[in-house]
């Protein structure tokens, strides 16, 4: 499909991109100006979401026969318990989620780094080795102090959301015309 075809298909829904862009900019500003309060608020929404999904899964036990009932029961109970824990400890959740993201990215960077270094020695060239070494160093730095690094997560996501918001607004105006 050409760009012209894509633009004409989306010209009727340009306002959706505009609203998404505005929302992204607002959340980006919130993350940059009040990161702690924004993360706590998001943690509360996460807790409510988990609680809601847990209740729906329990209802599913009685109305949906496409999935074995015990899976829905297990997911429902775990969702409700997780929702209650998150709602009782939103500050811990607000700190734990960015830290978990940092740990995940650190482990991923180390794995990618080792694979890149091995690839460099296995015929991938010096560039593969350098990229692997850079990934390995980044992974070690992330895992060296995940709690401290997690403090930067809201700011990074805030900047990403601002850029995404501006791009979505530009796209909305482009497909509108």
Segment 130-145, tens digit of pLDDT: 999 999 999 999 999 8
Closest CA to 55 of 77, 70, 74, 71: 77
Instruction: Label residue 123 left, alpha or beta by phi (over 0 means left) and psi (-120 to 50 means alpha).
Output: left
How far is the C-alpha of 171 from the C-alpha of 163, rounded, in Å? 12
pTM above 0.75, yes or no: no
Give residue 50's pLDDT: 94
Does a structural domain hold residue 2?
Answer: no
Give residue 65's pLDDT: 84
Give, rounded to a whole angstrom, the gap between the first and last alpha carbons of the chain: 19
Does a structural domain hold residue 13?
Answer: yes
76: domain range?
7-176
Does a structural domain hold residue 88?
Answer: yes
Does a structural domain hold residue 123?
Answer: yes
Contact in structure between 169 and 23 (CB atoms under 8 Å): no
Q: Above 80 in pLDDT, residue 10?
A: no
Does a structural domain hold residue 17?
Answer: yes
How far is the C-alpha of 84 from the C-alpha of 81, rounded, in Å? 5
Does a structural domain hold residue 1?
Answer: no
Average pLDDT over residues 80-107: 93
How far is the C-alpha of 37 from the C-alpha of 86, rounded, in Å? 15
């Amino acid at each position: 499909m050409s760009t012209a075809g894509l633009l004409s298909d989306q010209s009727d829904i340009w306002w959706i991109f505009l609203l998404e862009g505005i929302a992204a900019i607002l959340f980006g500003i919130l993350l940059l100006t009040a990161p702690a309060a924004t993360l706590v608020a998001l943690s509360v929404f996460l807790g409510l979401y988990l609680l809601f999904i847990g209740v729906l899964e329990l209802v599913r036990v009685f109305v949906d026969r496409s999935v074995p009932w015990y899976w829905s029961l297990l997911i429902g109970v775990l969702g409700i318990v997780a929702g209650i824990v998150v709602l009782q400890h939103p500050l811990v959740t607000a700190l734990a989620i960015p830290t978990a993201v940092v740990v995940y990215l650190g482990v991923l960077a180390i794995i990618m780094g080792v694979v890149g270094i091995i690839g460099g020695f296995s015929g991938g060239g010096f560039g593969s080795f350098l990229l692997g070494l850079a990934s390995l160093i980044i992974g070690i730095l992330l895992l060296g102090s995940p709690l401290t690094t997690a403090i930067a997560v809201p700011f990074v996501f805030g900047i990403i959301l601002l850029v995404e918001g501006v791009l979505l607004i530009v796209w909305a105006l482009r497909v509108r015309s």
